[in-house]
Chain A
Amino acid sequence: DADVTQTPRNRITKTGKRIMLECSQTKGHDRMYWYRQDPGLGLRLIYYSFDVKDINKGEISDGYSVSRQAQAKFSLSLESAIPNQTALYFCATSDKPTGAGGYTFGSGTRLTVV
């Protein structure tokens, strides 16, 4: 099993729908992150969590919300999806503080909003 598992891998949804992307990890890391990747813009941080009771906004949190259900689970919700949220979404984890292993990424969720 992968260290960081994201579901679903691909999703097409309609404008206005609520959608949840899920992430689970077996690394035992405290810190978890959600990023989106768009061509030419690199990775942009949406939300991050340093432990179960900690949730923080990243640089592009508008239109998104998150839930840290357990140390191993961190889900991202789009409350009312819009086409410009079409992107590749990644969940990542890291040690506290960042150890020699850096960040561990999931395989990504390709989301298309039509």
Chain B
Amino acid sequence: SQQGEEDPQALSIQEGENATMNCSYKTSINNLQWYRQNSGRGLVHLILIRSNEREKHSGRLRVTLDTSKKSSSLLITASRAADTASYFCALDPGGYQKVTFGIGTKLQVIP
């Protein structure tokens, strides 16, 4: 099973700036999900985008999916210190296949 590759592995920005992180993958997917993990805590589901969707929004989050390039991006606008966390993409091939998680992007938002 494939694993998404997040880029960059770490990102440090000032509060109020936008944060963009990317996820690339190799084989076809049914959907792609983004999760947030605060230090040592459980992952929290942020947003799911299906393979026939190109863009989704949720509050300050914007996710895009380009199936021709096999990549997705997560944009957090007007970042806050509370957005400091690790962000993971998860690939869902669909059916009875398992979702796989990437290694994550560690985001630090400096107040």
Contacts and interface: CB of A to CB of B under 8 A. Distances in A.
Interface stretch (A12-20, A60-68, A73-81, A99-107): A99-107
A113 interface: no
A108 B48 contact: no
A106 to B, nearest CB: 5
B31 A103 contact: no
Contact of A45 (B41, B48, B98): B98
Interface residues of A, number: 27
Interface in B55-80: none
A83 interface: no
Given A40-B103, A105-B43, A108-B42, A48 B98 contact: yes
Contacts of A45: 98, 100
Given A108-B41, A110-B40, A102 B35 contact: yes
A64 B41 CA distance: 22
B45 interface: yes
A56 to B, nearest CB: 8
A41 B100 CA distance: 12
Given A41-B103, A42-B102, A108-B41, A98 B96 contact: no
Contact of B33 (A40, A48, A97, A103): A103
Most buried by A among B40, B43, B44, B90: B43
Most buried by B among A50, A88, A105: A105
B82 to A, nearest CB: 18
